Structure 1
Amino acid sequence: MNYMPGTASLIQDIDKKHLVLLRDGRTLIGFLRSIDQFANLVLHQTVERIHVGAKYGDIPRGIFVVRGENVVLLGEIDLEKESDTPLQQVSIEEILEEQRLEQQAKLESEKLKVQALKERGLAVPRADTLDEY
């Protein structure tokens, strides 16, 4: 096989099932239908997978266009090993509630951390003032 530089090497992955991790932390799973030189992706039969602890839920998203700059990781899913997971699949409603509770607990933890630092005379810059990149 000839070496192809950059995203051209992904042409052989067209029509295969892939997991895509986005910059905002979301995880997408779908069939790669198209890719260009900027790593822009078109995914088909896409689901957004939400993980919380040992549980996960899939939200159907259909056709999904992802701008290349938002892709952190792209990997092919081995269809034979896909069902061999220690994670438990739950309903969309249940995983969204689990995610909400996890985010709430994280927020409470952050508040306690900021309070403890403040008591020691230290300040933490607010997240919205930091550069996201």
Structure 2
Amino acid sequence: MKDVSRREFLLASAMGVASSALPSIATSAEKAPMYGLIGKIDVVPGQRPAVVAALLEGVNGMPGCLSYVVAEDPADANAIWVTEVWDSKEHHANSLTLPAVQDAIKRARPYITGFSEHVETNPVGGRGLVAAR
């Protein structure tokens, strides 16, 4: 029996996983794309906990929201990253009119100094992310 190197084993495993995923990839291409946002929020020094709390309290009950992650930037004590995945761009837009979201924005706004980075994405899947379609 031939000894298989670690590299050969990993390559063969990756090819097997990729080939088994092909039918689901083809199926997901037929679905409407998910909508994603990744943004960096700059805050007043010392106020990051208040903004994080406001953002996290406003996330429940948002129709179409598949993932909403608030993260502190370890390299910048005055920065927060928010990563969102929605089943559609329309659901994201509609979420901004929800009372809980409006309240979160109202409470966080005085401590936000800007949005230094903002990227729109078309998520295709990932661990913990299940498309609603």
Decide which structure has greater helix share: 2
TM-score, normalisation: structure 1: 0.28
Greater relative CO, 1 or 2 (CA 8 Å, sep 6+): 2
TM-score, normalisation: structure 2: 0.28
Decide which structure has greater strand share: 1
